Amino acid sequence: MSYVKVWADHEQLNKNEINKLKKDGLSIFEDIPKYARDGFESIPKDQYMYFKYAGLTVQKPQDKGLFMMRVKIPTGILNAEQAEVLAEIGHDYGRDILDITTRQSIQYHWVPLEKLPEIFDLLKKVDLTTSEAEGDAPRNVVGNPLAGIDRDELFDTRPTVNEIYRFFQDNPDFSNLPRKYKISINANIYNAGHAEINDLAFTPASKVVDGKKVLGFHVKVGGGLAAKPYLAEQLNVFVAKDQVRNVASAVTTLYRDYGYRKSRARARLKYLVADWGIRKFEEKVLELTGPLPSAGKDETVGWNGGFFFGAHPQKQDGLNYVGISVPVGRISSGDFSKIAGLAKQYGSGELRTVNSQNLIIPNIPDRALNDLLAEDIFKKFPVHPTPFTGYAMACTGNEFCNLALTNTKDKMEEIAARLDREVDLDVPVRIYMVGCTNSCGQRHIADIGIQGLKLRTQKGELVDAYEIFVGGTLTGGGHFNERLKGRIAASLISDVLKDFLLYFKKEKEKGETFFTFKNRLGTEKLQTVLDDILKAATSERE
């Protein structure tokens, strides 16, 4: 161990912290083969938390010996072999289902304990890992899914992502952080890395140094959603590419040594940043990094929501990428394997995962593009998805999450399909659904967020219901969506949203986005619109 745990003698450490001092999270990998041999009953309950560091969560019901398992994919780039192994794992160990997550990772369910050693071997052979995909450690490094091939990137971030991923991965100096820790590295000028909702984000920037324009990054710290959302704030520094590791190490060291370990509810970096203020945080960073130039020119020009559908030319002449819609991120291993096969047949074999829970096949030569697009699989996973299904996202929901109050993925798909049939718009509307107030599915930054709850109606029935939130974005530094009053029973939600969006269609200007529309009309006006729709919908039912 090359550092001193300065918090070790703090008086009020939470229980997890006391455990983590006794045993480092990463040591779970030494125990798993034994548990896999001896069965689920051999695992003491107090060891469950350590499985997180291996990217594993005990799945409910907790006595079946099944796990949710997450595999990291830095900036979403997979080679052909890796994609094939991920499909194989889904088929052999994960009941045929893969979920693409909002951090570009792949997540499985129902993974049996006794198979974990085999799975780890398979992953290791292709340089993939589940390690620190969960737990109080650096999570998957997210970034531009088009890194290296993007006409809208300031420069290729693949080397930087790789450097930072390798630096932190399984590094014992950073495996005991106060809480989860999310890094984003992106140089796409449309904020493909969702900078503001990460603990540490590197965003595209330039600066004139000694008369020469240098490309590099600006840095944002302390973002995160969940129940207490916070948008990351910018440090007044310009970071050249060769300084990224230095800065990432400094920020993470500050978090490790000063982040709060008394209550897990206040342990994310955002609480430390909020308490210190951004200027003090910056001073502390500079104490560790040494002097850095002040911020230069911000090169971010907008936000694309992380959507890259359709076929588009790459920055390499003659090559194209194809963005594919995977509704709510769920795909069978057979279909994943087919898409990986097409990537090999028509492209370089590379496949990319997107934080909007979709896929990209890169490196398709011009001459092969039409043949690829004519493949049958794109009837199921379209490259030009219908606008609602293509732009919908959902968290795990009550299928696997103990905190969920409602279903999410099925319900979201059902609503989106209905809206696609009945509402024809000239702009996409991003609708994200979550099953509780924790908002894992990035509900806060959706055009329309839908949050699940249980409702008892006036007639005394207990039903699934939802609240809606309007006007979220990461454009211009970000804005969280705002709740409209009124709880909408599951049986009414698609009717209500349909009418709400038909109102948007009727009143909007040509090309106007939902976010601009909401700002033009104001939340109060939209509230009266919803009130009227709800009144009409309820009286129709009565």
Partner 1 sequence: MELYRLIASTEEGEIPIVAAAESEAEAFRIADREIQHHYLKKPKITDIALIQRKSIGKNGAGYLIRPRESYE
The rounded radius of gyration (Å) of the Cα atoms in the chain is: 23
357 sits near ligand SF4 (criterion: CB under 6 A): no
Binding region for partner 1 (CB under 8 A) out of 126-134, 142-150, 310-318, 478-486:
478-486
Nearer to partner 1, 309 or 480 (CB): 480
Of 385-424, binders to ligand SF4 (CB under 6 A) are 395-397, 401, 403-404
The residue from 26, 273, 364, 440 that contacts ligand SF4 (CB under 6 A) is 440
CB under 8 A, 24+ apart: contacts of 258-263: 258/284, 259/177, 259/178, 259/179, 260/178, 261/7, 261/10, 261/13, 261/14, 261/17, 261/178, 262/10, 262/12, 262/13, 262/14, 263/14
CA distance 314 to 273: 38
Binding region for partner 1 (CB under 8 A) out of 32-40, 67-75, 397-405, 500-508:
397-405
The residue from 1, 4, 227, 374 that contacts partner 1 (CB under 8 A) is 227
Please check whether residue 233 is in contact with residue 195, taking contact to mean a CB–CB distance below 8 angstroms.
Answer: no
Residues 6+ apart with CB under 8 A from 490: 406, 411, 463, 464, 465, 466
58 sits near ligand SF4 (criterion: CB under 6 A): no
**Pick from 489, 484, 466: nearest CA to 537:** 489
438 sits near ligand SF4 (criterion: CB under 6 A): yes
Binding region for partner 1 (CB under 8 A) out of 128-136, 270-278, 477-485, 497-505:
477-485
Residue 397, binding choice from partner 1, ligand SF4, none, Cβ under 5 to 8 Å by partner class: ligand SF4
Q: Which amino acid is at 135?
A: G
Please check whether residue 182 is in contact with residue 295, taking contact to mean a CB–CB distance below 8 angstroms.
Answer: no
In the complex, the smallest distance separating the C-beta of residue 348 from ligand SF4, rounded to whole angstroms, is 34
Residue 457, binding choice from partner 1, ligand SF4, none, Cβ under 5 to 8 Å by partner class: partner 1
Terminal Cα-to-Cα distance of the chain (whole angstroms): 68
Q: Between 116-125 and 28-38, two packed helices, what is the crossing angle to 10 degrees?
A: 140
Binding region for ligand SF4 (CB under 6 A) out of 138-146, 327-335, 361-369, 431-439:
431-439
Residue 434, binding choice from partner 1, ligand SF4, none, Cβ under 5 to 8 Å by partner class: ligand SF4
Residue 440, binding choice from partner 1, ligand SF4, none, Cβ under 5 to 8 Å by partner class: ligand SF4
CB under 8 A, 24+ apart: contacts of 507-515: 508/427, 510/426, 511/426, 511/427, 512/427, 513/427, 513/447, 514/427, 514/429, 514/430, 514/447, 514/448, 514/470, 514/471, 515/447, 515/471, 515/472, 515/473, 515/475, 515/479
Binding region for partner 1 (CB under 8 A) out of 58-66, 252-260, 458-466, 503-511:
458-466
In the complex, the smallest distance separating the C-beta of residue 104 from ligand SF4, rounded to whole angstroms, is 17
What is the x/- site pattern for partner 1, positions 8-47, by CB under 8 A?
A: -------x--------------------------------
CA distance 393 to 355: 10
The residue from 8, 18, 288, 403 that contacts partner 1 (CB under 8 A) is 403
Six-digit token string for 15: 């229980």
Residue 23, binding choice from partner 1, ligand SF4, none, Cβ under 5 to 8 Å by partner class: none
Nearer to partner 1, 5 or 487 (CB): 487
102 sits near ligand SF4 (criterion: CB under 6 A): no
Please check whether residue 77 is in contact with residue 321, taking contact to mean a CB–CB distance below 8 angstroms.
Answer: no
Binding region for partner 1 (CB under 8 A) out of 26-34, 254-262, 365-373, 450-458:
450-458
**Pick from 465, 464, 479, 466: nearest CA to 514:** 479
Residue 465, binding choice from partner 1, ligand SF4, none, Cβ under 5 to 8 Å by partner class: partner 1
Binding region for partner 1 (CB under 8 A) out of 161-169, 190-198, 408-416, 475-483:
475-483
Applying CB under 8 A, the site for partner 1 has a residue count of 24
What is the x/- site pattern for partner 1, positions 479-518, by CB under 8 A?
A: -xxxx---x-------------------------------
CA distance 287 to 51: 35
Helix boundaries (H) for 474-522 = 490-507, 514-521
Helix boundaries (H) for 296-365 = 333-346
Q: Which amino acid is at 191?
A: N
Q: Is 286 helix (H, G, I), strand (E, B) or coil?
A: helix
3-state SS of 225-249 is CCCCCECCEEEEEEEEHHHHHHHHH
Nearer to ligand SF4, 361 or 395 (CB): 395
Nearer to partner 1, 288 or 403 (CB): 403
Q: Is 103 helix (H, G, I), strand (E, B) or coil?
A: coil
In the complex, the smallest distance separating the C-beta of residue 71 from ligand SF4, rounded to whole angstroms, is 18
Residues that bind partner 1 (CB under 8 A): 15, 227, 229, 402-403, 405, 436-437, 444, 453-458, 462, 465, 469, 480-483, 487, 523
Residues that bind ligand SF4 (CB under 6 A): 395-397, 401, 403-404, 434-436, 438-441
